[in-house]
Copies of this chain bind each other. A is one copy, B any other.
Amino acid sequence: MSIKYEPLSGRELPRFSGIKTFFRLPHVPIDADYDVGLVGLPFDGGLSYRPGARFAPSRVREVSSLGRVFHYGRMEAFTKRLKVADIGDCPTVPIDLEMTYQRIQAYYGKLLSMGKRVITVGGDHSTTLPILREMRKRYGKPLRFIHFDAHLDTYPPAWDKDYHHGSFARHAVEEGLVDPKHYHMFGIRGPFTGSDDLDFVKKHGITVHTVDELRDVGLRAFVNSLPDFGSEPTYISYDVDCLDPAYAPGTGTPVVGGLTTYETQQILRGLKVKNLVGGDIVEISPPFDSSDLTSLAGLDAMFEMLSLM
């Protein structure tokens, strides 16, 4: 039976009906005939404060009932160019980060080896590292990297643990998974723990776009000034805490003074990226959310990434 990679129409089966999948797209096996796989990665074992990201894939699927696929700015539906499907959740070990890393790498290794592109709904930000490891293997070189976040995520070990949700970016650079010269951070703001928090990004030449920079320059000018990422394999990691807590209250470590959903939409729309090989939306914590604001913001980031592909 051939699969139709189209969302279930809300004008036929009401939007609140049916088994929940990302964008109401078909749920298919990992080895089906799709181009882009949408994957849930329910894991919050790398978090330092509010847990709950384990429920993010399920909740984003729920609010996907409201998802639409036609992009007003680009005047096209991503489903017209790409076969996109929900391929379910990656296995994890909820109580062990290292074992989870192994399962993530096995899963994404398999997926990437089949030539698929993938957008992931995490999970806390520690889950990005094992995905990047497999991306690095698959593409044979460091990826260009676009990183939305309130935090630098280049922090040192905590409680004698080197891997956690605040250190993935440091490891990604140190392991050569991403290219710091083509690494842009959006949404960064303080307060920090200390001045040394900035040492790593300075040393490696990562480009940090603070909220202040964006607001001072103005949104349009800011977006227009962004460099071209060209045709090199590029990955986007979208931590919802880049957003102000008013827009994304349901997250692990909220920081006031952040971006609006409109601003991150505009950045995502303005990105000059020709070869987006993957992306993730992380740190959505449904138990701390209000009125599903954060899941809706995450769904929208997913939509922009798909439209960018």
Interface residues, chain A, CB within 8 Å of chain B? Answer: 9-21, 27, 40, 42, 44-52, 54-55, 57-58, 61-62, 65-73, 75-77, 86, 88-89, 91-97, 99, 126, 155-161, 164, 189-195, 197, 210-212, 215-216, 219-220, 244-247, 249-250, 253-258, 260-262, 265, 287-293, 296-297, 300, 303
Most buried by B among A51, A55, A250, A255: A51
Count of chain copies = 6
- Are A27 and B17 neighbours in the complex by a CB distance under 8 Å? no
The CA-CA distance from A262 to B49 in the complex, in Å, is: 23
Contact B244 A261 (CB under 8 A): yes
A156: chain B residues at CB < 8 Å are 11
Partner among B20, B73, B246, B287 whose Cβ is within 8 Å of the Cβ of A246: B246
Whether B54 lies near A51 (C-beta < 8 A) is yes
Decide if B14 touches A42 in the complex (CB within 8 Å): yes
**Which of chain B's residues has its CB closest to A70's CB?**
B192
**Considering the chains assembled together, what is the distance between the CA atoms of A143 and B156 in angstroms?**
42
CB-CB < 8 A to A189: which residues of B? 72
Indicate which residue in B15, B17, B19, B250 contacts A19 across the interface (CB closer than 8 Å). Answer: B19
